[in-house]
Structures are given as C-alpha cells and as structure tokens.
Amino acid sequence: MRFLGYAVANVFETLLRLLPFPCRTGLIKIGKPQKDSPVFLTCNYHLTVQRVKRALKGMDAYLLIANSRGINVWCAAAGGHLTNHEVISVLKTSGIEGLVGHRQVILPQLAATGVELKIIKEKTGWRIIWGPVYAKDIPVFMQNKMKAGRMEREVKFPFIQRLEVAISWAFSLSLLAGIIAAIFFPRVFVPLILFIWGLSLATFIFYPLYGSWLSSGKGSLTFSLLVWGVILLALVLYSHLSSGISWRFLIRWGIISFVFVFITTLDLKGGSPLLAGGFEELKVTIDEDKCRGAAFCETVCPRNCYDVNRKKHKAILPRAERCVLCGACIIQCPFDALYFKNPEGEVILPGTMRKYKQNLLGKRVMKTGNNR
C-alpha cells in the first residue's frame, strides 16, 4: 500500500513537476532513533521527502524538513528559498536539540548554493556535513562513515531523469495548448498533442547526443534553430509526398513548431543540471594567495571540477569546462579565495554570491565590481 502511494506521488508530481509541492515542515523520526542517531535535513518538496524517507528505510535517524516553499533542494537553494534562515529555523524549533547528544546535521550537497556551513556553525553550534547529491546514495554515504565519494557528489542527467523532465514539460505544455486548441482549433487538437509529446521526449531523451556541444558554449538559440529547421524539412518532405498538403498547412505547422521548439529547447538550460543557466561568460577564478587547501570547494562542487593538491594545500580547477556556475564553491570557501570573473576582468564578490545566490526565482541580479 505504501509503495502504491509512493508510486502515485511519483507519477502525479512528475506530471506537475514545474509546480511547487509543499509538505509539512518539522521533525520526522525514522525507526527508533537514539541520542547518537544521525540527523538529516532536506527541503519540504513532497517528492524529495518521500525519496529521502525511502532511502533511510531500515535506519534509525531523525529527518528535519526545512521550509523551501515546496521547491526542490537545488532550485530552492540557488533561488534563495532554502537559506541559512530556513535551516536555523528548523534546527531551533523542531526540538531536535533535546533529542540528540551531538551537533552534526547532514544536508544534501546541492543545498550548498544556499546554506552557509560557516554561518550555521556560528549561529547554532551545528556542524553541517554535506551528504550525497541523490537520496538513493544515502546508504553508501553512511557505510562510508558519512563521506560522499566522487560518484555521490556529482550531478548526472541519466535516462530516467531526462524522461521525467520530458514528461513534465510535455504534460504542462499539452495541458495549456490543448485547452486553447480544443476551444479555438479543434481539428489540430490531436496532432498538436502528439507533436508536443514527441518533441519533448525526443529533446530530452537524445540529450547525450548534443549535450556536450551545448555545454561547450554553443548557443542554445542555434540549437533551437537547427531543430526547427529539421522539422520544417520534414514538413516539406511530408507535403511533397502527400498530394493534399497545402501552403496553409505548411505555414500553420511551421508557426506551431516554431513556438514549441523554442519553448522546449530554450529551457534546456533549466531542464539539464549539466548546463550553466546563464552568465556563461563568467569563470570561477582561484586567488592562490588566499587558498589554504581546505577543500570545501572540492566537497561541494556538483560537477567535480576541483582537485586539491594536499601537499601544497592549494585547489586547482583541472575540469573547469564542466562548471555550471552554481556558485557553491564560492559561497562555501571560508577564505574567500574564489570568485567569478568575466572576460572584461570584472569580478563578482563572494559576498554578492552569498547574498543573491543564483536568484533563479527572484530578481536574478548579480552586482559586478573590480574591487575584490
């Protein structure tokens, strides 16, 4: 019965993934936790909570649910909805301080764009341990003495995740377009829905074929135009092979395909965790004089861009081309040794990143300046 509920929640919330799904905040006991049991913290996006509870099955632990307004961890942290304030609030109000004898709380690594380890320690005495990116890796993380290995620290975009994103896009778009078509253009209703689902599934399922081209800095506008061009060619070919096709048909479907190709492909940056979501001209830069090799950057980078030279106590960026500009490394570096820099030499201060995050859901303003 529980599995059925979990499956229904998965299907329903995948279809409506673009919307927030808040659940109750506070404290959940998993198994029979004791004074020395681990404390996990996650956001109050319903599906995430279900997945974390599932991953914790068989353990004795406490699970704190912070108020992220029903948004998933990465989007909430990057957009300023899962911050120090929400973490401090749940640590202070849930009663957890009276239940455990330690002060260690495990947060998902993707919260590192919004929650500052240093501030949480200063204000509450709690030490953050960064857990794995995906809840399913919690058992491995625990077996490994609460250390996330390179594999557990990296975001991926596997088939099942691409399918989920494709379905959520297709469902939302076809719901909206379907209502309009049913009222005003009933004859195109069925082909329109089929087109939207086919386009969305193809775009995300075939992502591995073109993803590296996009992440190498090529414009997504070029990609959208290419996809639209292919569809136009297919339409012309179809019209050539079937005698009854008219210019009216070609123009109508040319416009329809233009609109949906651009909506679907232009949001690839938002849909894929492997692409930078804007500000591509920025580069993470290391101030070698300030770096002390503390490796916070290496621990929180979801793209494994860093190595730390343990002998020289210095961070290096051997895989900088993989960076998605999430800002986690800059926000967490305790010595302000990292910053974003654009080709003109302007920098974004660590303090600015800490204040505005990526601001995906808000003003999305980042102040630049030459004074580090």
**236 φ, ψ to 5°?**
-65, -45
Query: Of the candidates 75, 136, 70, which has an alpha carbon nearest to the alpha carbon of residue 269?
Result: 75
Contact region with ligand SF4 (CB under 6 A), list: 51-59, 74-82, 208-216, 284-292: 284-292
For the bound state, the minimum distance from the C-beta of residue 331 to ligand SF4, rounded and expressed in Å, comes to 9
Check if the beta carbon of residue 153 is closer than 8 Å to that of residue 140. no
For residue 126, the 8-state DSSP code is P
Query: Does 316 sit near ligand SF4 (CB under 6 A)?
Result: no
Contact region with ligand SF4 (CB under 6 A), list: 58-66, 222-230, 297-305, 353-361: 297-305
3-state secondary structure of 35: coil
Query: Does 121 sit near ligand SF4 (CB under 6 A)?
Result: no
Kindly tell me which of 171 and 296 has the beta carbon lying closer to ligand SF4: 296
Tokens of 48: 């995430």
Kindly tell me which of 168 and 299 has the beta carbon lying closer to ligand SF4: 299
Kindly tell me which of 199 and 308 has the beta carbon lying closer to ligand SF4: 308
Contact region with ligand SF4 (CB under 6 A), list: 145-153, 226-234, 247-255, 286-294: 286-294
| Rounded Cα–Cα distance for residues 56 and 73 (Å) | 17
Query: Does 157 sit near ligand SF4 (CB under 6 A)?
Result: no
Query: Does 110 sit near ligand SF4 (CB under 6 A)?
Result: no
For residue 336, the 8-state DSSP code is -
User: How do strand 26-30 and strand 39-43 relate by DSSP bridges?
Assistant: unpaired
Contact region with ligand SF4 (CB under 6 A), list: 9-17, 235-243, 290-298, 346-354: 290-298
∠ CA(149), CA(152), CA(153), 5° rounding?
A: 85
Check if the beta carbon of residue 315 is closer than 8 Å to that of residue 295. yes
Query: Does 291 sit near ligand SF4 (CB under 6 A)?
Result: yes
Query: Does 293 sit near ligand SF4 (CB under 6 A)?
Result: yes
Query: Does 77 sit near ligand SF4 (CB under 6 A)?
Result: no
Query: Does 262 sit near ligand SF4 (CB under 6 A)?
Result: no
Query: Does 286 sit near ligand SF4 (CB under 6 A)?
Result: yes
Query: Does 128 sit near ligand SF4 (CB under 6 A)?
Result: no
| CA distances from residue 92 to 39, 114, 117, 123, 126 in whole angstroms, order as listed | 14, 18, 16, 10, 10
Query: Does 155 sit near ligand SF4 (CB under 6 A)?
Result: no
Enumerate residues 320-359 that contact ligand SF4 by CB under 6 A. 323-329, 333, 335, 337-338
Q: Which residues pair with 315 in a beta bridge?
A: 308
Kindly tell me which of 136 and 290 has the beta carbon lying closer to ligand SF4: 290
Kindly tell me which of 70 and 131 has the beta carbon lying closer to ligand SF4: 131
**207 contact partners, CB below 8 Å, separation of at least 6:** 157, 162, 268, 272
Kindly tell me which of 38 and 350 has the beta carbon lying closer to ligand SF4: 350
For the bound state, the minimum distance from the C-beta of residue 357 to ligand SF4, rounded and expressed in Å, comes to 12
Q: Of residues 28, 56, 231, 297, which one binds ligand SF4 by CB under 6 A?
A: 297
Residue identified by tokens 């770096």 is 291
The secondary structure of 261-272 as a DSSP string is HHHHHHTHHHH-
Work out whether the CA dihedral 13, 47, 69, 303 comes out positive or negative.
negative
Query: Does 275 sit near ligand SF4 (CB under 6 A)?
Result: no
Q: Of residues 57, 102, 292, 367, which one binds ligand SF4 by CB under 6 A?
A: 292
Q: Which residues pair with 45 in a beta bridge?
A: 22
| Rounded Cα–Cα distance for residues 165 and 15 (Å) | 9
Q: Which residues bind ligand SF4 (CB under 6 A)?
A: 284, 286, 291-297, 300-303, 305, 308, 315, 323-329, 333, 335, 337-338
